[in-house]
Structure 1
């Protein structure tokens, strides 16, 4: 029971009755549960707290479950369990391709829900325990990123980044060599829909590069993919 009490679960489900049943059952099983009724509300809850597992419905208002899974997976390795009335293979495959760990088709038994939750939590706790001492990632050219304590260093000097600059860097660094469009960066970091002519990301990238002493023409960390967006190319040290 003690291990369960440490585990916080986020349920993102717009059907009140289903959400209430899952929440009450998992509470009785000893877990700490937060419930969100829309995709955007769930994303905001996820950003504000630390969860051990997330249960996501696919058909959500404001932000659908597929988008939510993709967005969460860019930020975290937390287990993602999809629950949905959709039982088509394409929906399952898409959900898993976007980073979900498992899929439960409605209706399901509470016994099966508990078994899936416990299984994923055991694996996740082993994973986090194994990596809890690996707090800082080191790269060539003097860059060090402490993701746990949200600190960035160049040549052992702490950089004073704004929250948005840090969020952009962390998103890129956690997904190295993956190119993000400016619109994707804006929508993920600012949690707002992008509009044509928005120069916000460009301004923040320029400021971030200046602080990191990263020359745009000879980039060591953040590379511009012309006409597309940006990607992180920092070389990790073994």
Structure 2
């Protein structure tokens, strides 16, 4: 009863969500419930959780998309709970970064065992995890935990979207993101034709980082594809 770790349940079936929440609370966990994929994403962005239970068949944003978005930003344990029994669904979910897959119906005891197991691993990971403040060449320092960015010892006045954009790229080094992927992740919706929002924010971010397109130190343009972060942490 002394865990007090926070679990986010993203499940559109009210009765299942209530059962899961009540059971986990009796075991000492703090639970939050979201009934749609979008609501779950908003909860994740606004709060800190130690583990997420995610149904696949969610309204507004499906569980696959949600897992993919969350994994780009966090290593928090993701457990999929779904009525989908096909191997393809399980493989897709695990490939998107989920840590486990429970097929409905499942026993609450099994759920408890898996939750406890993943939380133990997550605790060990955090005990040995490196500092959240990472230094890069040419004076860039990113404090991921406190959401602050410094250049040559001076804090950069980044907007919320610029900060989100930099964190998305820096947390996934050398991974190329298309403009559409960036817009969907940062702004939470599909990019419209002719929308230059991502381009404008990349330009503004580069300006503040003193980064050049043709000799990129941090954000590289992959022509015809998108953008990627190329800064290498200083050991």
Shorter-chain-normalised TM-score: which range? over 0.9
Instruction: Give the distance between the partners of 2:189 and 2:84, measured in 1 at CA.
Output: 28
1:44 aligns with 2:24: no
Deviation at 1:183, TM superposition (A): 1.0
Corresponding residue SS for 2:106: coil
1:222 aligns with 2:219: yes
Once the two structures are superposed, residues 213-233 of structure 1 have per-residue CA deviations (whole angstroms, 9 ceiling, x without a partner) of 001111000001112111000
User: Number of aligned pairs?
Assistant: 235
Aligned to 1:167: 164
Deviation at 1:192, TM superposition (A): 2.0
Aligned equivalent of 2:206, options 193, 205, 209: 209
Aligned equivalent of 2:197, options 195, 200, 206: 200
Instruction: Give the distance between the partners of 1:144 and 1:166, measured in 2 at CA.
Output: 13
Corresponding residue SS for 1:180: coil
Aligned to 1:138: 135
Instruction: Give the distance between the partners of 2:95 and 2:16, measured in 1 at CA.
Output: 25
What TM-score comes out, normalization by structure 2 length?
0.98
Deviation at 1:88, TM superposition (A): 1.1
Q: Which moved more, 1:187-196 or 1:67-76?
A: 187-196
What TM-score comes out, normalization by structure 1 length?
0.97
Deviation at 1:130, TM superposition (A): 1.9
Aligned to 1:97: 95
Corresponding residue SS for 1:82: strand
1:61 aligns with 2:53: no
Q: Which runs of 5+ in 2 are unaligned?
A: none
Instruction: Give the distance between the partners of 1:198 and 1:227, measured in 2 at CA.
Output: 16
Instruction: Give the distance between the partners of 1:90 and 1:192, measured in 2 at CA.
Output: 26
Aligned to 1:237: 234
Q: Which runs of 5+ in 1 are unaligned?
A: none
Deviation at 1:193, TM superposition (A): 2.0
Aligned equivalent of 2:21, options 20, 23, 41: 23
Deviation at 1:28, TM superposition (A): 1.0
Aligned to 1:183: 180
Deviation at 1:194, TM superposition (A): 1.1
Aligned to 2:144: 147
Once the two structures are superposed, residues 137-165 of structure 1 have per-residue CA deviations (whole angstroms, 9 ceiling, x without a partner) of 11112111000011111112211100000
Corresponding residue SS for 2:21: helix
